[in-house]
A and B are shown apart, each in its own frame.
Chain A
Amino acid sequence: MTESRLKTIGLVVTILVHGAVIGGVFAMNVIDQRSASQRSKLGEDEYEAIQAGLAIRAKSAAGKTRSKLPQKDMAEKVKPDVEGVAMDPNKVPPPKKPDDKQRATPDMVDPSATFNKFRKADSVGKANTTGEGADDENVAGKADGSEWGTLEDAKGDPYAGELAGRVTKEFDVPSLVGAQGLKALGCVRLNREGRIVERSVEMKSGNPTFDRAVDKSVAQATDMEAPVPDKLVKIMVKKSICFEFKL
């Protein structure tokens, strides 16, 4: 076999391999797009429940000083006609019903943040696009007049909030780090029993002191004291659950 023939065969094989890889990537993208279009309501809702729970935790920690008006943000994006909540600043909300006191208000949750953060997670990983089987207890968006659910609904799952608290509890950035706008992901993986089986820092900021602060906080996170609830298994077990650490 001549050398030129060998080169030709090699080239053909390479083209075939590359074609297969490119085709695989393309096919997966198509599948993702389809699955995204068929995304179950449950998957979104689970994320929103988690985020809403975290929003409430942040709110309770920060007091009533939220700087954004979430409904206003959402009004520009989806303009839902939500009973009892004035999305349009020029629109007068209808009279309150007796159960209105239980509805989510801007002071209670940040639905726009929830919405945006879900999209963020989705855009990065498109994770949990086919979740099923969760109970209705924590599902946001009940058909009771509120696009984003009642306060009780929006409290979300305390399990995720508890995990966030444990991972970020020791987040202490030395004051000699003057730079602002730093960000890194502190990630953990849980097993079914709620034990942390892997810890890592991803998308580091590049500032070694800040990154070390994230690393230390993640390293000192303690295991959850209860197994992962059934409804969260698909999105929390064996996946890299990453928390944004910012300065």
Chain B
Amino acid sequence: MLRIQALTSIVLLGALLGRAAAQDRVIIDPNVKARRGLYPLAVAPPFESDAALAKLASDVMTFDFASSSWFSVLDPRSYLADHKREGMTIEPQRWKDVGAFGVVKTRAVSTGANVILQFKLFELEKGATPVLEREYKGSTADARKLVHKWCNEVVKYYTGEPGFFGSRIVFVVNKRKSKGILSMDFDGHGVGGVSNNDSLNILPAYSPSGGAIAFTSYMRNNPDLYVSSGGGRPARVSRQPGMNTGASFSPDGSRIALTLSKDGNPEIYVISAKDGSILKRLTNNRYIDTSPAWSPDGREIAFVSNREGGPQIFVMSADGGGQRRVSTIGNFNQTPAWNPKKGMRQLAYCARDDASGRFDIVTLDLANGKMVRITQNQGNNEEPTFAPNGRVIAFASSRAGGAGIYLANADGTGEQRLVYRGSATSPDWGPTP
């Protein structure tokens, strides 16, 4: 009884005080439109960690988050926190004072050939309780992969979408008398060879699962199509007379769209990924049709044709019907790539700036025709390919600051990052492992 009376009293008193407080407030609508930007994330120096492992973890996280297109990583020199006192916890106000929205804490311990990585994510608005915690154990050689895995978890926590950290990019490196196929982590680490010959190897393409890479090689003099999967000798899948180039896998991986010139004129065909048998001819005219790119939903194929003069981007249904030009600006557009994000109908391609004569990367939203220029005044930029989540584009650039493979945000914002320095072309971004 007394409890009920006390509770009622508290409620009434609260109502009175609340009313008094409400009278003390003036609300003004300044009609301000929010700017949209990056999420300021602080990557705290790893705590009680081995120096080399701590640096690796910090470096990987910093690069991953900064290149994700979602986050800006704060400069550690600005941090005010007492890291020793905080340990794996945080004092939120210290981090708020430097403008952070979230903080990542790490403990990285090496135990001989193995590592233990502990991570905690704090959202400052939620105080000193971590909102995400993970611990990973693995070999020292896998340390980078484990950090990528954590970063993917962070992206998923915030966005609900998978990150692309740990995915790989396959590309062509130009040697003195040959071209080789290499693959690397998206951040430029872990470079490894795919082709193993001194011939010309060009135009690599990942299968949807990432388990196979198709490429064209002159190793037997004719530009045939090979598929490399799981090591060993690559299988020669298509060896039609003339060109067997520009492979693009169907989303289920069972078919390959490519350019064949067996009848003299480059045309687009669909072949079986298993044995190279021709399933369908998609184009048939006296012009050049090339660079097919299969859409993520499997319904369409983008390609390049000079049927209306210079090379332009066209789209057709996967059975070859409804061929129509979609690039409307510029006299020279080539190498289309689809944004793999579900629900998007967006292409990235290389467009020549008719004023400067240089090539730049643009995106084109097929739903509304909106074009965004990704590069400008930075040498030639060609052969775009989207990250698995469609947020970032990799492309080859010959800019003065360093030729190689670069990453850029697919919306055209932010810094462009060099991930492979050297004479490299034809990047193709594989799936997230």
* A-to-B contact residues, CB < 8 Å: 7, 10-11, 14, 17-18, 21-22, 24-25, 28, 50-51, 54-55, 57-58, 62, 113, 117, 120-121, 124-128, 160, 164-165, 167-168, 171-176, 178, 185, 187, 202, 208-209, 211-213, 215-216, 219, 235-236, 239-247
Residue B22 interfacial (CB < 8 Å): yes
A residues within 8 A CB of B34? Answer: 171-173, 213, 245-247
Residue B400 interfacial (CB < 8 Å): no
Instruction: Given A58-B31, A172-B35, verify A21-B13 contact (CB < 8 Å).
Output: yes
Residue B176 interfacial (CB < 8 Å): no
Q: Looking at the complex, which one of A21, A208, A213, A244 makes contact with B126 (CB distance below 8 Å)?
A: A208
Instruction: Given A117-B29, A209-B101, A239-B24, verify A175-B96 contact (CB < 8 Å).
Output: no
A209→B125 contact, CB < 8 A: yes
**Binary contact track B109-139/A, C-beta < 8 Å → 1, others 0:** 0000000000000011110000000000000
B residues within 8 A CB of A172? Answer: 34-37
| Listed A/B pairs (13) with beta-carbon separation below 8 Å | A24-B16, A25-B15, A28-B19, A58-B31, A127-B26, A167-B30, A168-B30, A172-B37, A173-B36, A208-B125, A212-B101, A241-B28, A245-B32
- Among A10, A128, A172, which residue has the most Cβ atoms of chain B within 10 A? A172
B residues within 8 A CB of A10? Answer: 2, 5
In the complex, A50 Cα to B27 Cα: how many Å?
Answer: 11
B9→A17 contact, CB < 8 A: yes
B32→A124 contact, CB < 8 A: no
**Binary contact track B328-365/A, C-beta < 8 Å → 1, others 0:** 00000000000000000000000000000000000000
Instruction: Given A17-B9, A25-B15, A209-B125, verify A164-B25 contact (CB < 8 Å).
Output: no
B residues within 8 A CB of A240? Answer: 24-26
Q: Looking at the complex, which one of B13, B19, B26 makes contact with A242 (CB distance below 8 Å)?
A: B26
Residue B159 interfacial (CB < 8 Å): yes
**Distance of B129 from chain A, by nearest CB (Å):** 12
B residues within 8 A CB of A28? Answer: 19
Residue B218 interfacial (CB < 8 Å): no
**Distance of B43 from chain A, by nearest CB (Å):** 16
B residues within 8 A CB of A215? Answer: 96, 125
Instruction: Given A25-B19, A239-B25, verify A175-B30 contact (CB < 8 Å).
Output: no
**Distance of B240 from chain A, by nearest CB (Å):** 47
- Among B2, B30, B34, B35, which residue has the most Cβ atoms of chain A within 10 A? B30
**Distance of A140 from chain B, by nearest CB (Å):** 16
Closest B residue to A203 using CB positions: B27
Q: Which 6 A-B pairs have the closest CB atoms?
A: A208-B125, A58-B31, A174-B39, A164-B30, A212-B125, A173-B34
The range of chain B's interface size is: 35 or more
B28→A243 contact, CB < 8 A: yes
In the complex, A246 Cα to B30 Cα: how many Å?
Answer: 10
Known: A17-B9, A176-B159, A245-B32. 15 other contacts (CB 8 A): A14-B8, A51-B28, A54-B30, A58-B31, A58-B32, A124-B27, A127-B24, A160-B28, A172-B36, A176-B158, A187-B25, A209-B123, A213-B101, A235-B26, A245-B34
B residues within 8 A CB of A17? Answer: 9
B residues within 8 A CB of A185? Answer: 27
Residue B12 interfacial (CB < 8 Å): yes
A residues within 8 A CB of B8? Answer: 14, 18
**Distance of B103 from chain A, by nearest CB (Å):** 12
In the complex, A14 Cα to B12 Cα: how many Å?
Answer: 12
In the complex, A77 Cα to B12 Cα: how many Å?
Answer: 37
In the complex, A15 Cα to B38 Cα: how many Å?
Answer: 57
In the complex, A174 Cα to B28 Cα: how many Å?
Answer: 24
A residues within 8 A CB of B125? Answer: 208-209, 211-212, 215
Residue B1 interfacial (CB < 8 Å): yes
A residues within 8 A CB of B47? Answer: none
Residue B70 interfacial (CB < 8 Å): yes
Instruction: Given A18-B8, A215-B125, verify A174-B101 contact (CB < 8 Å).
Output: yes
**Distance of B354 from chain A, by nearest CB (Å):** 32
**Distance of B5 from chain A, by nearest CB (Å):** 4
**Distance of A123 from chain B, by nearest CB (Å):** 9
- Among B12, B15, B23, B25, which residue has the most Cβ atoms of chain A within 10 A? B25
B30→A243 contact, CB < 8 A: yes
**Distance of B64 from chain A, by nearest CB (Å):** 15
**Distance of A115 from chain B, by nearest CB (Å):** 12
Closest B residue to A244 using CB positions: B29
Closest A residue to B159 using CB positions: A176
Residue B99 interfacial (CB < 8 Å): yes
- Among A124, A168, A185, A208, which residue has the most Cβ atoms of chain B within 10 A? A208
B residues within 8 A CB of A50? Answer: 28
Instruction: Given A239-B24, A240-B26, verify A175-B38 contact (CB < 8 Å).
Output: yes
B residues within 8 A CB of A171? Answer: 32, 34-35
B96→A120 contact, CB < 8 A: no
**Distance of A233 from chain B, by nearest CB (Å):** 13
- Among A211, A216, A241, which residue has the most Cβ atoms of chain B within 10 A? A216
B26→A125 contact, CB < 8 A: yes
Closest B residue to A202 using CB positions: B25
In the complex, A168 Cα to B31 Cα: how many Å?
Answer: 10
B9→A219 contact, CB < 8 A: no
In the complex, A215 Cα to B37 Cα: how many Å?
Answer: 16
B residues within 8 A CB of A202? Answer: 25
**Distance of B100 from chain A, by nearest CB (Å):** 9
B25→A127 contact, CB < 8 A: yes
In the complex, A126 Cα to B19 Cα: how many Å?
Answer: 10
Closest B residue to A129 using CB positions: B23
Q: Looking at the complex, which one of B26, B35, B99, B123 makes contact with A128 (CB distance below 8 Å)?
A: B26
**Distance of A231 from chain B, by nearest CB (Å):** 15
B37→A175 contact, CB < 8 A: yes
Closest A residue to B37 using CB positions: A172
**Distance of B35 from chain A, by nearest CB (Å):** 5
